[in-house]
Amino acid sequence: MMLFLLIVLSTTIVALNSCSQDDAGSEQSSNSPTSDRGVVINGVKWATRNVDKPGTFAAKPEDAGMFYQWNRKVAWPTTGDITGWDNSTSTGTAWEKSNDPSPAGWCVPTSNEIIKLLDTNKVSNEWTIQNGVNGRKFTDKDSGNTLFLPAVGYRFYSDGMLDDVGTYGTYWSSTQGNIDNADGLAFNIDNVNRSNIYRAYGFSVRCVAEK
C-alpha cells in the first residue's frame, strides 16, 4: 500500500531548538558502528548512515539500518515479518533524549533541519541508485557535499507490516505535529517533502550532530 497519510506542510519555518552543528566543510564517513564524521549540508552536519540498533550506525550509507516509531527507542528490522508491534500513539511534545536511538554526539533532527535540507535555493536533490540501492541524493550547492538517503520503505502503523521497500524513503524528525502526528521527511521517485505523519509508523532515523 502507498503511504497515503502524508500531509504536506507549508514551508514556513518555525523557531525550534536545534541540536546540530553549523560548521562548514566536507567530511568523510567512518566505518565505526558508533561514530561518523558526518557531512555538512546547508549548515547542518548530517550523519552519512542511518541509525541501526540503538547507539549504532548502519555499516554503509546504502544500508537500511532499523526502523523506529516516534519518540520510542525500540528498533524494528527493515526486513521480514515481526511480532509484538505496538500500534498505540506515543506521547511527548518532542523526541525525548532518553528515547533517542542516535549514537553519542548525535540526535534526531528537528523539523527545521529537514527544512534546511529541502531548501532548493541551497540544496539540490535527485532520485538515484547508489551501489544498487534506490534513494535520494542531496547536494550542497556551495560546497558540493552530498548526502544519500536510501529508500527503505516503512512499517505500517496498525500492524507493523513492511511496505514500499525501494520506492519510499521515510525519516523522522524530533518535532511533534499534533497530539497524534509528528513531522518527518518523505520521498519517492517523483517527490520529496516535509510531512506530518502518524507517530505509530516505523520509519528510518538519519541523525544530525549535537552542538
Q: Which of 53, 89, 67, 100 is nearest to 198 (CA)?
A: 89
Q: Would you state the pLDDT for residue 18?
A: 57
User: What does the pLDDT average to over 32-52?
Assistant: 97
pTM: predicted TM-score of the whole model, two decimal places: 0.89
Q: Can you list the positions of beta strands (E) in the chain? A: 7-8, 39-41, 44-46, 106-107, 123-130, 133-140, 146-150, 154-155, 162-163, 169-176, 181-187, 192-198, 208-209
Q: The C-alpha cell of 211 is what? A: 552542538
- pLDDT, one tens digit per residue, over 156-200 is 999 999 999 999 999 999 999 988 999 999 999 999 999 999 999
Cα–Cα dist 171/175, whole Å: 12
pLDDT grade, residue 14 (50/70/90)?
very low
